[in-house]
Amino acid sequence: MSESSSSTPKNVLVVDDNVINRRLASAFLGRLGYVTDQAEDGPSALAKLENGRFDIVFLDISMPGMSGEEVLAKLRTDSRFNGLYVIAYTAHALPEEKQHLIDAGFDDLLIKPITMKAVEAVLSSR
């Protein structure tokens, strides 16, 4: 973590329709001292965000039913989530795709398949 080790762990919600992707991200985050929870789709993520306290969200872009961009749009119009750091979590790696996601309101981008080093890098830029 980029903060001192004596600080309270950050709470991260990992949202992905693929259970293996959720588990991998959660394992990396746990090794870095973060506390994680998981959601398998957009509606579940919104419900967990309504009822919990999260500092960071890893949000998959391509999910059935409700995309990550749709979830983000709801979060960005709700003042309760001001300051929530939302990382696009996607397999799309084209430069123009990254710019589109940043323009849509994401704070950063994490490209799948993820590595421990990539997770550390995206969190250290926070």
59-88 residue pLDDT tens = 999 999 999 999 999 999 999 999 999 999
- Please write the tens of the pLDDT for every residue from 98-116: 889 999 999 999 999 999 9
pLDDT of 4 above 60? no
Looking at beta carbons, which pairs linking 41-49 to residues 24 or more positions away fall under 8 Å?
41/15, 41/17, 41/65, 41/66, 42/15, 42/66, 42/67, 42/68, 42/70, 42/71, 44/15, 45/13, 45/15, 45/71, 46/71, 46/74, 46/75, 48/13, 49/13, 49/75, 49/81, 49/84
Question: What is the spatial distance between Cα 126 and Cα 107, in angstroms, rounded to a whole number?
Answer: 9
Whole-number pLDDT of residue 3? 41
Q: What is the pTM of this model?
A: 0.92
